[in-house]
Structure 1
Amino acid sequence: MDLELSYKRYQLEIPPGIWQEFFAQLTDEHRGRLITLKQLDRELGEFDVLRQKPLFSITYDQPDHSRDLVVTVNRFLGTREAVYAHRIVAPQAVTIVTDEDGAIQACTVTDDDCAQTTISFEFQRLSQPRGF
């Protein structure tokens, strides 16, 4: 018997004019959440840049500055300093995938060379009381 998933996903494009505040809010809501960063490049193919690292921040510089998007992570949960930064030069498009409740599952950034970087947010399980 085939059971279809009742789980819906939505893809939304984020307009460039709000990238700075969008990523500031995304950082505030998801700091410390585990992320996986994948790169898809015409010449290099698809590869993981990092896996299951706690998000420290995602920042976007205004067009009158460097216009770069920078994703930084911690080494361990609870650490208050960034240990790795991934720079996306001259992003051209930002799309997000949300679940049916609007929770962001992934964010894909396309740069001016058409390379794509996908930030996937790990599913957070609710902790169960001890004894179960």
Structure 2
Amino acid sequence: SYTKVYPHCKKFEDFVEQDSENIKLDLIIDATDNLEVRDKIDKFAKERGIPWVYGSVEEFHGHVCFFEKSSFDAFKITNQSPKGIAAPIVMFIASLQANLVLRYLVDLPIKKDLLYYLRFDKDGDLVIDKFRMP
């Protein structure tokens, strides 16, 4: 058995209108940069019973969550601009997303509906907090 990945690099709205009915999806990987689109992804995924992996970064911290049953509604949608992004934290977040995705696709166990919050404490130590999503 093997896994094939088909990226869809377009606006989410365009994907939903043009392609979504003709494609069987096993998983959605979030690579967006705003909460509004993530909310749309969550609603789309819930309607079709498709899990999705969320990742977000700001400054020196970030979040990752493999959504299966929990809702993205726990995140307040605002129009505020991020305070900036430190490129190295992006790699931590992307790596955690990729590991969850690969483990899921090859049927290895993962924690679903658990928010991982990666941050650096006041001493500069990397801290990973975990929160069960409602």
Task: Give the TM-score category using the shorter length.
Answer: under 0.3
If asked which structure has higher relative contact order (CA below 8 Å, sep 6+), I would say 1
Per the normalisation by structure 1, the TM-score is 0.25
| Structure having the larger proportion of residues in strand | 1
| Structure having the larger proportion of residues in helix | 2
- Larger Rg, first or second structure (1 or 2): 1
